[in-house]
Structure 1
Amino acid sequence: MKKISLVLFVLSTFIFQTTYATDGYFRNGYGIKYSALAGSGVAVSLSSLGAVTNPASIINVNNSVELNISLFSPMRDYTISGNPSGFPQTFGLTPGKIESDKNLFFFPSIGLKRSIANNMAIALSIYGNGGMNTDYPAQTFYESSSPNTGVNLEQMFANLTYAVQFTKGHSIGLAGIFGWQRFAAKGLAAFSPFSSDPANLSGNSWSTSTGFGFKVGYQGVLTEWLSFGAAYQSKINMNEFERYAGLFAEKGDFDIPANWTAGIAVSPTRDWTFLLDVKQILYSGIKSVNNPLLPNLQTSQLGKDDGAGFGWKDITAVKFGVMYKAIENYTLMAGYSYSDNPIKESEVLFNILAPAVIQHHITAGVTRKISEDSDLSLAFMYALNNSVKGSNPLEAPGQQSIEIAMRQWQIEIGYSFCLIK
């Protein structure tokens, strides 16, 4: 009963889900063991939350519940160099460095897995994807009605997964995904002349949307020492943010981009496993994210199909992980990932609101088996500081430059236990 109560408590905390950005606005890893491996692991089965990485993986894990709690700290800032020109029809910014407030966030994840036959299993995963969050204590765009500038995108997902082992050592899985998200923005009224719906541009209360998608995966043991895994997630078509129909392209549309992952696991001995994954996130399929600021801001209006967006490009991430199991009751993990930067130098103005420029992640973790049916894990992630610098595209040439920067760290604790044998 105490374990069930703990599950219900964690589920209830999802109403306070918060956001951050790593691989763009996707998490670096889902589930504490995968996080400790820098998000690698599509070819291995580590926990019930592995269904998020690869739906096929749940065939090879015990019936269990996994609860994770993370403390996450993203540090975001922008620096403006050069004075505004004051020329007509320019959009100058106040010089100086501004750091975003609200740098500490808590968020949970939960996974449940149960076998329904010798070769079939189901799982439920509830988790946050990531998002965009800034809260600058400044009137960045000279908007007088709000003393602060920023955005907050929060996303939560529930995956219901079914997997089957169709022959020994080889399994496939399919997950239906329900997505929920909410968004709010402030301090953007200066863009009203560029908006198709100024009343639904900035300063409104939370706007929510929901949608559905799917994920399919394969996992197979090719030799005694080599395994392969791959997964594809569809675009999740979300309802529009009606209260921000004058900001995002396609009248407030903000779908979740499609992505795919493929990787291998190499185990030269029983004690060592080396992982290599490649992941691609297709931001180009989402107009509100992919549309560039210019020339769209001049040729169309915010909120229309060709309205200006954040100018993000598709990114590819390469993830490495290593596991060591020679110490009794302990598994040691470490990882490193490198991803492309979705933000180009020409897109720094709008991305003051979403400086998702992280490229390097270093991770480590440990799992201790505390009983026959349970284990405790701890993981740490540090994302190295990175920045992008470009000119203010709405100022006189060479007049102002904008530099956006971010660094991050995260501590995560997880508990896994057998709920149904």
Structure 2
Amino acid sequence: MRNLLRLVVVLFTTATFAQAGHIMQGVGAVNMSMGGASTAQPLDISGTLQWNPAAISVFDSKMLDFNIGLFFSSPELSSTGFEFDGATGQPTGNMISGVTEDDRGISPMPAFAMVWGKEDSKHTFGASVFGISGFGVTFPEQEFNTNPINNMQPFGFGHVESDYMLLQIGFAWAYELSETFSIGVQPTVNYAALELAPSPLSAPDFTPPAGAPGDQMYPNSDKASAIGFGAQFGLFYNSPSGFKLGASYKTAQSFGDLEFKNTYLNGDAAPDTAFNMDYPAILSFGLGYSKGDIDFALDYRMVDYENTDGFAESGWAIGDNGFPTGAVKGFGYKNINIVSVGLQYKGIEKLPLRFGYTYSSNPIEDELAFFSIPATAVIENAFQFGFSYPLSDSLMLNGVYHYGTSDGKTEGPMLNPNYISPTNPYGAIDNTKVGYEMTTSMIMFGISYNFNK
């Protein structure tokens, strides 16, 4: 039992890589294969608990759902900047460009859910443990004057690595007001962890010791964690004609500060920092239709980054002397729109097939692209194909393959607080660029068990 608990902790505290900003587009093999659309089409308990707690009222038995996926992303970080003389450390007057590929590899993505329902009861209960958010990159330091952004400090950032995950535990209750209309509520408890190297949240030391030009610039952080709380509310209408409507509102998940202990590259202790990063509020509307062998789902979501601590702020922190410290205040994300559409075809005996598509707008403005180098997980178009197969009367195997693309590069100028002026508020450096683009792929399998069967 102790080893099993350790395995669960390892699985559910592994970085989850997001698709829309830092928001996962779906949860579990069935919901992912429908493009994440589930607000008004409750095909499985995981997707339903994630997007509309009111819709779990359609499940009239005790059910369990467990999923595990293998996720691979291939971000590329590119830049155009100054060439430096290796002997003097001074700019040569030439500009160079380069590309660094991420070498993080494959990451696991787990999801667990249970629902308790009875055919003759108006009450349905659910519990879930989902990785709902995350980002992570590993861009190794490049050979000098190869890719400017990955030059050794202080000429670049050197090795760039980030690791963020958000685990959410939810307890849902749905109540049937009538045969066609249900309401639901789901309190949530969250655990988040973040690690950065180097840490842009810290003020760099601009006075390195003699003979060590790269040792005392931006420090690396340890892994800091925080607990957050929130809730989700939902409405679900299931008409006898097959049309379904759903709406849900997930409140902002409010966290305590992430408190980092920092270390310079030479091993010296750097000043501690604290950073508050909440999870944004999400408003979802859904349309569903089921008739014969067809189940159709369409969802729209609005993610409110512009009122979320850690994402709303942008620019450089200001010190007590009134000058920028070089520490970053936040990502500066704008609100995004997400559209998910899915289709399930049940015409093949014992082999329902699903097709899903997800579109997400980009939360990163070009002029602020520099601030999101540690968090490049932005996918504009995602395509999914999934299936289910009954292993027995009570046990179902589900699977999905996902492919996503950023559909172009997010790109803007390099920024430096020393270049700030009334007409250049972020310190953009002329003729420089930094950008990133990526593709993602994932294979996920899950099992659904119905205790009543």
Give the structure-2-normalised TM-score.
0.81
Task: Kindly tell me the number of residue pairs found equivalent between the two proteins.
Answer: 407
- The amino acid across from 1:351 in the alignment is S
Residue in structure 1 matched with residue 231 of structure 2 by the alignment: 214
Query: How many angstroms does 1:300 deviate by?
Result: 5.3
Give the 3 Å change call, closer, same or farther, for CA 245–93 of structure 1 in structure 2.
Answer: farther
2:75 and 2:285 map into 1 onto residues whose CA distance is 31
Larger displacement relative to structure 2 (287-296 or 324-333)? 287-296
* Alpha-carbon RMSD: 3.4
The reply to whether residue 224 of structure 1 matches residue 246 of structure 2 is: no
Do the aligned residues in 1 keep the contact of 2:260 with 2:274 (CA within 8 Å)?
Answer: no
1:13 and 1:45 map into 2 onto residues whose CA distance is 29
1:84-163 matched pairs, under 5 angstroms: 95-115=97-117, 118-138=121-141, 140=150, 142-143=152-153, 148-163=159-174
Do the aligned residues in 1 keep the contact of 2:77 with 2:139 (CA within 8 Å)?
Answer: no
Residue in structure 2 matched with residue 363 of structure 1 by the alignment: 384
1:57 and 1:189 map into 2 onto residues whose CA distance is 42
2:205 and 2:440 map into 1 onto residues whose CA distance is 33
Query: How many angstroms does 1:357 deviate by?
Result: 2.7
Do the aligned residues in 1 keep the contact of 2:317 with 2:325 (CA within 8 Å)?
Answer: no
Alignment deviations for residues 175-200 of structure 1 (CA, whole Å, 9 cap, x no partner): 110100111111247962499xxx9x
1:98 and 1:377 map into 2 onto residues whose CA distance is 36
The reply to whether residue 168 of structure 1 matches residue 179 of structure 2 is: yes
Unpaired runs of at least 5, structure 1:
none
The reply to whether residue 67 of structure 1 matches residue 77 of structure 2 is: no
1:189 and 1:382 map into 2 onto residues whose CA distance is 31
SS at match of 2:438: strand
Query: How many angstroms does 1:44 deviate by?
Result: 1.6
Give the structure-1-normalised TM-score.
0.87
- The amino acid across from 1:289 in the alignment is F
1:203-282 matched pairs, under 5 angstroms: 203-243=220-260, 251-267=274-290, 269-282=291-304
Residue in structure 1 matched with residue 446 of structure 2 by the alignment: 414
- The amino acid across from 1:357 in the alignment is V
Do the aligned residues in 1 keep the contact of 2:64 with 2:113 (CA within 8 Å)?
Answer: yes
Query: How many angstroms does 1:403 deviate by?
Result: 1.6
Alignment deviations for residues 365-410 of structure 1 (CA, whole Å, 9 cap, x no partner): 0011222212111101100243212222337753211121111011
Give the 3 Å change call, closer, same or farther, for CA 260–189 of structure 1 in structure 2.
Answer: closer
Query: Per residue, is there more strand in 1 or in 2?
Result: 2
Unpaired runs of at least 5, structure 2:
143-149, 207-215, 264-269, 420-427
- Tell which structure's C-alpha radius of gyration is larger: 2
1:191 and 1:365 map into 2 onto residues whose CA distance is 44
Give the 3 Å change call, closer, same or farther, for CA 254–244 of structure 1 in structure 2.
Answer: farther
1:296 and 1:266 map into 2 onto residues whose CA distance is 53
Do the aligned residues in 1 keep the contact of 2:152 with 2:158 (CA within 8 Å)?
Answer: no
Residue in structure 1 matched with residue 331 of structure 2 by the alignment: 310
Query: How many angstroms does 1:102 deviate by?
Result: 1.0
Give the 3 Å change call, closer, same or farther, for CA 402–69 of structure 1 in structure 2.
Answer: same
- The amino acid across from 1:47 in the alignment is D
2:452 and 2:219 map into 1 onto residues whose CA distance is 48
Do the aligned residues in 2 keep the contact of 1:85 with 1:399 (CA within 8 Å)?
Answer: no
Do the aligned residues in 1 keep the contact of 2:12 with 2:131 (CA within 8 Å)?
Answer: no
Query: How many angstroms does 1:419 deviate by?
Result: 3.4
The reply to whether residue 185 of structure 1 matches residue 196 of structure 2 is: yes
Identity between Structure 1 and Structure 2 (%): 21
SS at match of 2:177: strand
2:365 aligned to 314, 328, 344, which one?
344
- The amino acid across from 1:25 in the alignment is H
2:200 and 2:359 map into 1 onto residues whose CA distance is 36
Larger displacement relative to structure 2 (222-231 or 103-112)? 222-231
Alignment deviations for residues 314-370 of structure 1 (CA, whole Å, 9 cap, x no partner): 100111111111111221110111111011110121211111331001111001122
Give the 3 Å change call, closer, same or farther, for CA 372–189 of structure 1 in structure 2.
Answer: closer
Do the aligned residues in 1 keep the contact of 2:301 with 2:339 (CA within 8 Å)?
Answer: yes
